[in-house]
Structure 1
Amino acid sequence: MTVQECYEMIGADWQDVLQRFGGSQAIVKKFAIKFLDDPSFSDMKKAVAEKNVEDAFRAAHTLKGVCLNLGFSDLYHTSYDITEIFRAGTFEGAEELMEAMDDQYQTIQDAVTRLMQEDAE
């Protein structure tokens, strides 16, 4: 799988992210793989489970920035929406967004893991 195929599988704008990274597929790939180690998503889920809106906001805000930079547009938009909920100091409406985020995150994780595994073969 190429990096472009990975991004297409995710439903991201490959040309936009490639341009953002100066046309270097290797750099895009490097940072997409690093996304798998980013704790923001799990930190957000933990904070929500603990009903800690400040930590949930901080983690969601970080995730939003990472997704924007990497061109993961679906997860970016959802993390933007949930960041605004947490910014208001509430969890109201977050549950539905968390379900969508779980699906979006899993799609990215599956595609990037596949990219990484096929590269190792």
Structure 2
Amino acid sequence: MDAKEKEILMDAGIDVDGGIERCMGNEALYKKLIKRIWQDTNYQEVLSGMEAGSMDQVLKAAHTLKGISGNLGFTRLYEITEEIVKQIREEHYEEIGDKIAELTENYEKVMSALDKTGNH
């Protein structure tokens, strides 16, 4: 991974070094895994769960997205989904809308960075 690509990803809140480390230093594996986010539907499931008023669906999808984000080093996305999961489990539903807006903003930022760097 060249320095420019790494910088773009890091600017989007992606811990590239941590992600590669979790792949046992295998950069090719890391790049293969981050490209899989394009096929993942958990973000869309969070949104459709919110639209349907199904906190169970939001919880399940946000929890899965949290795990994926954590493993790939998508730090801010991980933090936001972790907060969504916590709020749902504690039944603090009134704050979920703001967190979903943050989730959307960060998800789009991450996806844009992946697109800019050819990781799609």
| TM-score between the two structures when normalised by the length of structure 1 | 0.87
Kindly state the Cα deviation for residue 104 of structure 1 after the two structures are TM-superposed.
0.4
Structure 1 residue runs without a partner (length 5+): none
Kindly state the Cα deviation for residue 12 of structure 1 after the two structures are TM-superposed.
2.2
> For 1:92, what is the secondary structure of its paired residue?
helix
CA RMSD in angstroms comes to 1.9
The answer to whether the 8 Å contact 2:42/2:64 transfers is yes
Query: What is the CA deviation profile of residues 25-44 of structure 1, one whole-angstrom value per residue up to 9, with x for unaligned ones?
Result: 11111111111111001001
- Aligned residue number for residue 51 of structure 1: 53
Which moved further from structure 2: 37-46 or 13-22? 13-22
Kindly state the Cα deviation for residue 8 of structure 1 after the two structures are TM-superposed.
1.5
Identity of aligned residues (%): 24
Partner Cα separation in structure 2 for residue 32 and residue 6 of structure 1: 14
Kindly state the Cα deviation for residue 10 of structure 1 after the two structures are TM-superposed.
1.6
> For 2:94, what is the secondary structure of its paired residue?
coil
One-letter code of the match for 2:44?
S
Kindly state the Cα deviation for residue 91 of structure 1 after the two structures are TM-superposed.
2.3
Kindly state the Cα deviation for residue 6 of structure 1 after the two structures are TM-superposed.
4.2
The answer to whether the 8 Å contact 2:14/2:110 transfers is no
> For 1:116, what is the secondary structure of its paired residue?
coil
One-letter code of the match for 1:82?
I
Q: How many residues align?
A: 118
- Aligned residue number for residue 63 of structure 1: 65
Partner Cα separation in structure 2 for residue 110 and residue 17 of structure 1: 18
- Aligned residue number for residue 7 of structure 1: 9
| TM-score between the two structures when normalised by the length of structure 2 | 0.88
Partner Cα separation in structure 1 for residue 35 and residue 16 of structure 2: 15
Structure 1 moving runs of 4+ over 6 Å: none
The answer to whether the 8 Å contact 1:53/1:90 transfers is no
One-letter code of the match for 2:17?
Q
Query: What is the CA deviation profile of residues 47-80 of structure 1, one whole-angstrom value per residue up to 9, with x for unaligned ones?
Result: 0110001111000100100000000000100000
